[in-house]
Amino acid sequence: MRNRARDVFVWRGLIQFIERGRSPQLEAAARVTADWMAQQWRDDKRIKKKLGSYPSMSLALAREIFQRDFAGMIQKGRSIKIVGHTRPGTVADLFEAYVKYLKEEGKPSWKEAEKGLNKIADTLGRNRPAREIEPDEIVEVIRPI
């Protein structure tokens, strides 16, 4: 006769071990991560490309990125190896998203951040792709601060 039984439940990426027995019910959660992947079969070979990782990227966001960037290419028979983001983020997009985050978190510094980032965006080029910004340019902008 067993005094303790251990059941393992997997639910939404979290593993919970629940131990039952003479002692009170004990729950401990372990953190689990997973990678969201786009997958395609070409020439009898599987090709995968990483979209992101759970929990930093939700399933809904991974599906949105897949539909936006990969689904059309797969339907057209193109390789997903060459697919990148269809809309590169601009400096303005990056800064606006950060200010939006500060507002949503209720941070009182969002107004000052918005004002300062707008000046920096004007200096770097508001509509310039953010991935083209070099570290030297950032140093020149923040050095006076």
Per-residue pLDDT for 7 more than 80?
no
Tens of pLDDT, residue by residue over 107-136, are 999 999 999 999 999 999 988 888 788 888
Per-residue pLDDT for 46 more than 80?
yes
DSSP 126: T
Tell me what the mean pLDDT of segment 14-36 comes to. 53
For residue 109, the model assigns a pLDDT of: 93
Cα(75)–Cα(62) distance, integer angstroms: 18
Tens of pLDDT, residue by residue over 80-109, are 887 765 556 888 988 999 999 999 999 999
Tell me what the mean pLDDT of segment 4-9 comes to. 35
Cα(82)–Cα(104) distance, integer angstroms: 35
pTM exceeds 0.75 for this model = no
Of all residues in the chain, the percent with pLDDT exceeding 70 is 74
Domain extent listing, the chain = 1-32, 35-79, 91-142
17 DSSP β-pair partners? 8, 28
Per-residue pLDDT for 19 more than 60?
no
For residue 3, the model assigns a pLDDT of: 36
Tell me what the mean pLDDT of segment 27-32 comes to. 58
Q: Give the 3-state secondary structure of residue 54.
A: strand
